[in-house]
Amino acid sequence: MKKIYLLFLILPSILIFQSCNNTSSNAKATKNDLNQDANIERKVDSVLALMNLNEKIGQMVQYAASWDVTGPASSEGNKFKEEKLKKGEVGSMLNVTSVKAVREAQKLVMDNSRLKIPLIFGYDVIHGYETIFPIPLGESASWDLEIIRKSAEVAAIETSAAGVQWTFAPMVDVSRDARWGRIMEGAGEDPYLSSKIGVARINGFQGDDLSKNNTIAACAKHFAGYGFGEAGRDYNTVNIGEHELHNAVLPPFKAAAEAGVATFMNSFNEIDGIPATASKKLQRDLLKGEWAWNGFVVSDWGSIAEMIAHGYAKDKKHAAELALNAGSDMDMESYAYEAELEKLLEENKVKLSDIDDAVKRILRVKFQLGLFDDPYKYCDEEREKNEIYTKEHLEIARDVAKKSIVLLKNDTVKTKKSALLPLSKSVKSIAVIGPLADDKDTPLGNWRGKGKYNSAVSLLEGVKAAAGDDTKIYYEKGIELTSKTVAPGENQFLHLMEFNTTDRSGISAAVNAAKKADIVLLAIGENAFQTGEGRSQTKIGFAGLQQELLEAVYAVNKNVVIVLMNGRPMDITWAAENVPTILECWHLGSQSGFAIADVLFGDYNPSGKLPVSFPYNVGQEPLYYNQKSTGRPMSTQVTYSGYNDAPKVALYPFGHGLSYTNFSYGNVSLDKAEMAKDGEIQVSVNVTNNGTRDGEEVVQLYIRDLVGSLTRPIKELKGFEKIMLKAGESKVINFTIDTETLQFYTANNKWEVEPGDFNVWIGGSSTTKNMAEFVVN
């Protein structure tokens, strides 16, 4: 069924060759790329020339399939959508998955519409399609850009094999607030790390050629400021200064645009009184203007119409006007563009040139994907059968999962004269306890795509598979975490969680199991649906009866390893003060239990580092290492900037993570002590593995600009390298400090390097004291 739809050939006379000023947002585009881009521009223009106004507006409309809603469900029925599809008045659909469903929808357009402009199909593939990878926050803890790229590549293979060619990922929202449920979806609190990881994910999804049938278009979201909602409340108001916006929020978006991400999604929130969806400054001036990015912007779900509730638009018509004028190209589920743009045009409230620009952007991506050559190119039943949830993909998921685990604490236990981890395979007995210990669903996390209910490998299964034959394993759940309000497997995305706070009947059995065992593995943390969209919380400790279970078990056996499964930084202060070992295991995806066992038994030496700070308690939020000094930085006296009842620093800081071996750092050495504003300095450090095991370390470089035209953060990550050192081995690691490292969005509203004194640190976490100084002239 491979038909060629070379629409642009039918009217050669109206082919308008238009060489494009901003053909490629990727600065490194080759001559071939540019030719290809020019070719696409020509085709885009030729299609545009054929279109009437309804068809143009139609391209700017995206409908959801009604069987998998992720927002307030629309009242429009399927029939209405079908008619619009047949008329060629829909540009895109979301949540249509499977070759059969995609083919059906595409066919409605191809068989009935005048111009046969193919639909583009989008879906939230956030951490895997059916083979589920760690939640993005967890995966970010690997600081391993290659495996992060690889996991997105696998997700793209599976997504495209199911007919879909566009994911609404990566979310590149920097977030500093553990209360925000969607912190699980990003790369944490640091703009530099978020930029690198965002680009790795985009490269994984899009590959080097979008037109291949196993790569998909990515989407940088949510533009912008969504991670900065007041009080960590989802969709909430954002108040952020212009400079902080540029320095802390926008860098990952700029990096995404430069990496050639095909699409952007705008955002639900307002910033300083203007909803992001209506922000001309962000979308038209910055993204499409200054950054010269040529993809298209899709609204967030209903975010155009939500401007009415914001009190910014008086009705849908007004909302459509504001959104289009600001540069929102595609309307996801607001039904505002299709209803209002024509009238707005007649009344001269919007410009035809802006509609044309939006349509061209959408067509461009469709051409880049090759949809015009073959609208069914992603509809291959063989691929769908053979390329989803394969053995190979599961192996990669296990690899990514084990590299995402962070060893937070592993103290020497007096009675054993050693740390509890790694476990010996000949350990006599292990008690595997906790509500998440044999949970096969929670490890799949919140945005689990088509991950099947209960399909993850549980901790218990992983431990059983890894332990020696002679090891006795006792399993006790102890408590239920939640009180069931939904049937197992029912889509829990929209259901409120309820926790078990009364049923303690299983605790005594758990205590008995703990008494009998050499070691306790206690799996506690958060249910999959405690984090994700709409899952903000004011409490970030152990919900339900988990703390009670922890204390009861610890009272009878001190050899407790907490296996923490969660989607946000939690308040684990009691555990950190009492329990010897804590292993941060996030929601690790399909292979969770195997990956955790790899680390527990030392088959893999943990190498993850936190991409977010863990607070002592929720009152410290938002908490982030790259904070400002304030005029009163010390916290030991009353009238300084701290708290009277808690430290002001993190319990476990950004960049922290232990290994089964020890690394030491030599002094930071510079090739010169001064540099010109546009010059560079080479900085290096000798890192040694002092232990008896091989291991990986994330070598982190931080700087501080001591005095600026604006106050500067007390430390900023500006480089990192993940290295493998054999036991006893040393390596010199080099970094270059240059304009890119030192520039920031200054008081002049420009990215500049300001002369002055700088500090540079290199070490194994953001608290490193290994520092040198240099001067920029």
The 163-202 contact track toward ligand BGC, x by CB under 6 A, reads -----x----------------------------------
CA pair distance 194, 183, nearest whole angstrom: 12
Cβ distance to ligand BGC smaller for residue 376 or 447? 447
Specify whether 300 is catalytic.
Answer: yes
CB of 603 to ligand BGC, least distance (A): 36
The one-letter code for the residue type at 520 is: V
- The answer, yes or no, to whether the previous bond of 224 is cis (omega within 30 of 0) is yes
The one-letter code for the residue type at 41 is: E
**3-class DSSP state for residue 710?**
coil
The one-letter code for the residue type at 208 is: D
SS3 per residue for 302-321: CCCCHHHHCCCCCCHHHHHH
Residues near 422 by beta carbon (within 8 Å), at least 6 away in sequence: 599, 600, 601, 602, 660
CB of 690 to ligand BGC, least distance (A): 45
Q: Where are the beta strands (DSSP E) in 56-101?
A: 61-64, 92-94
Cβ count within 10 A of residue 393 = 24
The 8-class DSSP code of residue 284 comes to I
Residues near 478 by beta carbon (within 8 Å), at least 6 away in sequence: 433, 434, 435, 506, 507, 509, 510, 549, 553
CB of 66 to ligand BGC, least distance (A): 13
Cβ distance to ligand BGC smaller for residue 118 or 170? 170
Q: Are 682 and 742 in contact (CB under 8 A)?
A: no
Burial 80-97 (b: 16+ CB within 10 A, else e): ebeebbebbbbbbbbbbb
Q: Are 725 and 688 in contact (CB under 8 A)?
A: yes
CB of 71 to ligand BGC, least distance (A): 5
CA pair distance 400, 403, nearest whole angstrom: 5
Q: Which of 55, 144, 177, 300 binds ligand BGC (CB under 6 A)?
A: 300
Q: Choose the catalytic residue: 300, 329, 438, 441.
A: 300
Residue 221 is a binding residue for ligand BGC (CB under 6 A): yes
- The helix or strand, by DSSP H or E, that contains position 34, with its residue range, turns out to be helix 31-50
Cβ distance to ligand BGC smaller for residue 168 or 180? 168
Identify the bridge partners of residue 525 per DSSP, sorted by sequence position: 565
In degrees, rounded to 5, the angle at the alpha carbon of residue 714 between the alpha carbons of residues 247 and 719 is 65
Cβ distance to ligand BGC smaller for residue 106 or 303? 303
- The helix or strand, by DSSP H or E, that contains position 22, with its residue range, turns out to be none
Q: Are 331 and 299 in contact (CB under 8 A)?
A: yes
Q: Are 62 and 94 in contact (CB under 8 A)?
A: yes
Cβ distance to ligand BGC smaller for residue 158 or 533? 533
**Total of chain residues touching ligand BGC, rule CB under 6 A:** 9
Residue at token pair 């799996």: 523
CB of 94 to ligand BGC, least distance (A): 6
The pair of three-digit structure tokens given for residue 584, joined into one six-digit string? 């941060």
CB of 653 to ligand BGC, least distance (A): 29
CB of 69 to ligand BGC, least distance (A): 8
Q: Report the sign of the C-alpha dihedral through residues 266, 270, 272, 277, in that order.
A: positive
Cβ distance to ligand BGC smaller for residue 172 or 572? 172
Residue 624 is a binding residue for ligand BGC (CB under 6 A): no
The 301-330 contact track toward ligand BGC, x by CB under 6 A, reads x-----------------------------
CB of 137 to ligand BGC, least distance (A): 15
Cβ distance to ligand BGC smaller for residue 444 or 575? 444
Cβ distance to ligand BGC smaller for residue 380 or 533? 533
Residues near 302 by beta carbon (within 8 Å), at least 6 away in sequence: 71, 72, 332, 333, 334
Cβ distance to ligand BGC smaller for residue 300 or 584? 300
The 506-545 contact track toward ligand BGC, x by CB under 6 A, reads ---------------------------x------------
Q: Which of 23, 59, 62, 70 binds ligand BGC (CB under 6 A)?
A: 70
CB of 269 to ligand BGC, least distance (A): 10
Cβ distance to ligand BGC smaller for residue 124 or 571? 124
The 8-class DSSP code of residue 431 comes to E
CA pair distance 685, 719, nearest whole angstrom: 13
CA pair distance 294, 40, nearest whole angstrom: 12
CA pair distance 108, 64, nearest whole angstrom: 15
CB of 126 to ligand BGC, least distance (A): 8
Q: What is the DSSP string of 644-695?
A: SSS-SS-SB-TT--B-SS-EEE---EES-SEE-TT--EEEEEEEEE-SSS-E
Cβ distance to ligand BGC smaller for residue 70 or 546? 70
**3-class DSSP state for residue 702?**
strand
Residue 337 is a binding residue for ligand BGC (CB under 6 A): no
CA pair distance 240, 248, nearest whole angstrom: 10
Q: Are strands 560-565 and 519-525 parallel, antiparallel or unpaired?
A: parallel
CB of 234 to ligand BGC, least distance (A): 9
The 87-126 contact track toward ligand BGC, x by CB under 6 A, reads -------x-----------------------------x--
Cβ distance to ligand BGC smaller for residue 124 or 153? 124
CB of 205 to ligand BGC, least distance (A): 14
Q: Which of 5, 34, 38, 71 binds ligand BGC (CB under 6 A)?
A: 71
Binding site for ligand BGC (CB under 6 A): 70-71, 94, 124, 168, 221, 300-301, 533
Report the catalytic residues.
300
